[in-house]
Amino acid sequence: MTAASHRPIIGLIGFGAFGRLMARHLRAHCDLLAHDSATELAAEEGVTFTDLATAAACRIVVLAVPVDRFETVIAALRPHLRRGAVVVDVGSVKLVPARAMLAGLPPDVEIVGTHPLFGPQSARDGIAGLKLALCPIRGRAAFRIGAFLRHALRLRVVLTTPEAHDRDMAVAQGLTHLIAAVLVRMEPLPSRMTTRSFDLLMQAVGMVRHDPPGVFDAIERANPYAAGVRAQFLELTAEMGRALEHPV
């Protein structure tokens, strides 16, 4: 065995903004075989572009595709998976992908849900110390992967279930992205005469406003708890607005 053969090979299905971000942090530790259905892909150091069959035949396969393409992609890669492979997803919601993977992947394939709680904006200064939610779905591979993410990438790994994840994210992401989308529609907003708290709010907006539309849709539509949280936020905001119409 040569030294090179110790480097794990990861198949990466989907090479959008998040796929690229991942590649930058994983290439020091693994060889990356990436596949994306987009016809034009910018070259990325340490990444070899390949066909779906080759990427899907790796020991570890990471799915970085929009949530609404999940079922189609799973059906397409299924015939190419090797026995005992580990399939990992990185989507912003965890219940829908977990169900799709449990239903669509062969029973001998291990399944791990992850949600890196950061994006290209928040990872600009590196990812050490950033959080990642980790959901073991089938098999024990999640614990090995969690140890790697903790020690090699220095992420803060939060072990959770798809349900608990989606409940918390309906608030943490659902509300932040909703508020950000509304504030962007209210532009131009003050930039010179601002308070510290408004500056922080606008920093939060700046962090999510350039996310691809698929991310917003996953967060607001594919999270089964998001609609309820939005309704509660809207009701409380309206109630407060009504209360403020009357004198003290």
- Residue 187 beta carbon to a second copy: minimum distance, rounded to whole angstroms: 10
- Quick check: bond before 188 cis, omega within 30? yes
CB of 205 to a second copy, least distance (A): 8
Please report how close the Cβ of residue 23 comes to a second copy at its closest, in angstroms: 21
- How far, in Å, CA of 134 to CA of 136, rounded? 7
Candidates 20, 139, 201, 225; binder of a second copy (CB under 8 A) is: 201
**Which of the 8 DSSP states describes residue 154?**
-
Q: Where are the alpha helices (DSSP H) in the chain?
A: 17-26, 52-56, 70-77, 95-104, 141-151, 162-185, 196-208, 213-217, 226-245
8 Å CB contact between 117 and 128: no
102 counts as binding a second copy under rule CB under 8 A: no
- Smaller CB distance to a second copy: residue 51 or 199? 199
- 76 counts as binding a second copy under rule CB under 8 A: no
Per-residue binding string, a second copy, 135-174, x by CB under 8 A, is -----------------------x-x---xx--xx-xxx-
Give CA–CA dist 213/79, Å, rounded: 30
Q: Residues 65, 90: contact at Cβ < 8 Å?
A: no
**Residue choice 51, 152, 200, 212 for contact with a second copy (CB under 8 A):** 200
Is 182 a binding residue for a second copy by CB under 8 A? The answer is: yes
Residue 133 found at the interface with a second copy (CB under 8 A)? yes
N-term to C-term CA, the chain: 78
Full DSSP string of 32-60:
EEEE-SSS-----TTEEE--HHHHHTSSE
Binding status of residue 197 toward a second copy by CB under 8 A: yes
Residues engaged in binding a second copy (CB under 8 A): 68, 117-118, 122, 130-131, 133, 158, 160, 164-165, 168-169, 171-173, 175-176, 178-183, 185-186, 189-190, 192-198, 200-201, 203-205, 207-208, 217, 220-221, 226-227, 230-234, 236-238, 240-241, 244-245, 247-248
